[in-house]
């Protein structure tokens, strides 16, 4: 019998309601983070080198996430006791206290709902990142291979970009805020009619009526 493929959320979907066991107790998602951005990230397993470097890196930048009204939430299919012992090891050996909760998904229920178990990788959860907005909607979904650790600065950049775009009704260019063409400016949405297109370059800087930008 063919094995069922894990479901995978899509950008724009609502985060499914669920109750999870974590190192900080039981949480109901997404309600526990209502009004905040949430960065939920999974890792293949506790006591593994790449994952350890990631958790230390996330913790070191935790204050910057909080400045962006964002919280961190880890996840793997390990038991809560393993998470706690691993946290003790990171504290004792690497002088870093992990302050954010980690989901203990021993039965793999959360991983299955979020599409975090790769069929070819057995039961370990993949290295995934979900950016969820204050309304509980998936805004970005990233997957990394087991051999490549995540770039924390990029995740922070994405949060800043989403928040800037949402507040100003604009889009962010490549490498924002250091784009090679327009620097830290943001792209103005294209006009919806001919009259607006003809006026566009009088209103904004740009290369053409369909490619205008402004400071935000």
Active site residues: 51
- Please name which of 97, 70, 74 lies closest in space to residue 23, comparing C-alpha atoms: 74
Q: What is the chain's Cα-based Rg?
A: 20
- Please name which of 50, 103, 56 lies closest in space to residue 77, comparing C-alpha atoms: 103
Hey, how many other C-beta atoms are within 10 angstroms of the C-beta on 117?
Answer: 19
Six token digits for residue 112: 């299955």
Residues 6+ apart with CB under 8 A from 133: 37, 139, 162
């Amino acid at each position: 019998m063919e094995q069922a493929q894990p479901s995978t959320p899509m950008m724009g979907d609502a985060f499914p309601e669920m109750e999870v066991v974590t190192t900080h107790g039981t949480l109901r998602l997404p309600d526990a983070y209502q009004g905040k951005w949430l960065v939920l990230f999974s890792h293949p397993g506790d006591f593994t080198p790449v994952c350890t470097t990631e958790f230390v890196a996330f913790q070191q930048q935790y204050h910057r996430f909080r400045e962006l009204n964002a919280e961190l939430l880890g996840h793997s299919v390990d038991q809560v006791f393993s998470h706690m012992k691993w946290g003790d090891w990171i504290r004792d050996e690497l002088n870093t206290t992990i302050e954010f909760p980690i989901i203990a998904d021993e039965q793999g229920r959360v991983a299955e709902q979020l599409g975090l178990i790769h069929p070819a990788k057995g039961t370990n959860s993949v290295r995934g990142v979900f950016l969820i907005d204050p309304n509980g909607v998936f805004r970005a979904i990233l997957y990394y291979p087991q051999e490549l650790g995540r770039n924390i600065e990029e995740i922070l950049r994405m949060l800043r970009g989403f928040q800037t775009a949402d507040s100003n009704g604009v889009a962010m260019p490549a490498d924002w805020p250091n784009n090679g063409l327009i620097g830290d400016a943001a792209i103005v949405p294209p006009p919806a009619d001919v009259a607006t297109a003809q006026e566009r370059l009088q209103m904004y800087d740009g290369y053409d009526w369909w490619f205008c930008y402004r400071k935000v």
